[in-house]
Structure formats: C-alpha cells, structure tokens
Amino acid sequence: MRRTIALFMLCVFAGALVASAATGYIVILKNGHKIRAKEPLRIEGRTAIITLSNGTMTSYPLDYVDLVATQKYNQSDVGDAIEIKELERINQPRATPTPHKSLGSYATISPLTDAELGATNTPTPVPTPGIKLQSGGYSEPRITRAFGEFLDTNKLYLHKSSAGTKAEYFFLQIIADDENQVFQTLKVVAEAYSLIHQRFPDIAPDSVELEMVSTGHNAAGTFRITPDMATQLTGGKISPEEFYVKHVIF
C-alpha cells in the first residue's frame, strides 16, 4: 500500500514539473545543495534528468533529489536567486572587514578525444593506507566550508569531506561518473587548494586526499595532492590527463 502511494505521489510530482514554469528553476538535493536549472527536471524511471542553466544536460539518481523541497522552493517564487558566497570571507575579521576580491575565471578542460584513464601507463603505487572518508571532520571548519562552496560554485555538488589520514590532511570524496568529470574534478580541487593555500597558509591543510567514485561506488581514482602538485596542475605545467596517470593511487 505504501509503495502504491509513493508511486502515485511520484507521478503527481512529475506531472507538476512538466506544467511548471521553465525559468528560474532550482533543484534541491537531499544534502541541501541547490542546482540552477534552465527548466523543471524530468523523471525517467529512477533517474532525475536536469538541464542546467547553461543548457548542459546532466542526471542524478532520483534518490539524491529532495522532490518535496524542490517543489516547495519553486512554488515560493524565489527563482534562481541563489547567493554564492565568496571564499575570501572565511578568514576576514568581522570588526575590520576587507574588500571582497573576485575568485576570477577558472580554466576549463577541453573535451577529451582518445585519452583513457590508465590506458597506456601503469600508475605508480604509493603506500597510502586508509585514504577514505573518516568518522571525524577536519579540525578547521572554515577550510571545510571553503572547499564546499568552491566545489558547489563549480557544479561539483556531490561531495563529502572529513579529516584525512593525518590531522593536517583534508579528505574529499567526490562523485565522478566519466573521464570528463574525473579530469574536471582534479582541476577544480587543485584550484581550490591552491587558492586556499596561497591566501590562508596558516590554516590550509598540508595535503588534500581525494577519492573519486562513481554513483555506483566504483573507484575512479584516489590521490594525495600536495601544494606543489596543485600549483603544477593549475599553472598548466601538467595536464589533468598526465596528472592522473602520474599521481593516481589504486
């Protein structure tokens, strides 16, 4: 009976999406993150199909989407007015605020052609036991917020963080389902880490441990990124593809 009611409510919600306005639509995930969409999401089976505000089509497992919150939010006429907070505010004294500076524009990764993960090179194994999501959070919550906001701004919404294998390491777990997403994730994480390390060296982690997994929980690459490694990637001294092959840990 409950299953029948749930399916009925899902059908009703899907119908409401089709009939709703196609401007300023926001999709809310169950982790609280909001996604700007060009039009209402479309439900196909257990998958939510979302057309982003730039026209790019993406999809998420339906279980990731808070359908009730999404419907209520878009009925409130808030539209796409989502406040994007700047990274620089994390370490500014409240009594004497300094002017905000733009984060700037970030380099994009050109479409891949025949590059395949680990297709021609054997990754160099590095002894790094226990690189995984830990039970405790990172010691500095401002760093956690900074990484979270940076990832969200760059549309990497499905992520978790914790302390790393050492107290001075920061851990990130990010969903990446294909090669483009893997290389984009590497570049964005390196950009975030470089910016944080440059502006706030006193509280920046010594290394960022990154674990990428698919939505099916298959491994997509594990890394321990140092500030120098992040600088090389963001500075264009190494491509994301080369970075992957050189530094990936299985």
Residue 169 sits in the same domain as residue 237: yes
Residue 131 sits in the same domain as residue 233: yes
* CB contact at 8 A, 179 and 117: yes
Residue 158 falls inside a structural domain: yes
Residue 59 and residue 140: Cα distance in Å, rounded? 33
Residue 92 falls inside a structural domain: no
- Domain coverage including residue 191: 118-247
Residue 129 sits in the same domain as residue 62: no
What's the pLDDT score for residue 130? 78
Q: CB neighbours (10 Å) of residue 33? A: 17
Residue 142 sits in the same domain as residue 69: no
- Name which of 38, 34, 12, 15 is nearest 25 in CA terms: 38
Residue 85 falls inside a structural domain: no
Residue 69 sits in the same domain as residue 180: no
Under 8 Å CB-to-CB from 80, ≥6 apart: which residues?
Answer: 24, 25, 26, 36, 53
Residue 169, CA distances (Å) to 76, 81, 229 in order: 41, 35, 15
CATH code, 24? 2.30.30.100
Q: What is the pTM of this model?
A: 0.55
pLDDT tens series, the chain, 250 aa: 545 444 444 444 444 444 344 456 888 888 777 888 888 888 888 888 888 877 888 888 888 888 888 888 887 654 444 433 434 443 443 333 333 333 333 333 333 333 333 333 444 444 445 799 998 999 999 999 999 999 988 988 889 999 999 999 999 999 998 889 999 999 999 999 999 999 989 999 999 999 999 877 888 999 999 999 999 999 999 999 999 999 999 7
Q: How many structural domains compose the chain?
A: 2
Residue 6 and residue 180: Cα distance in Å, rounded? 35
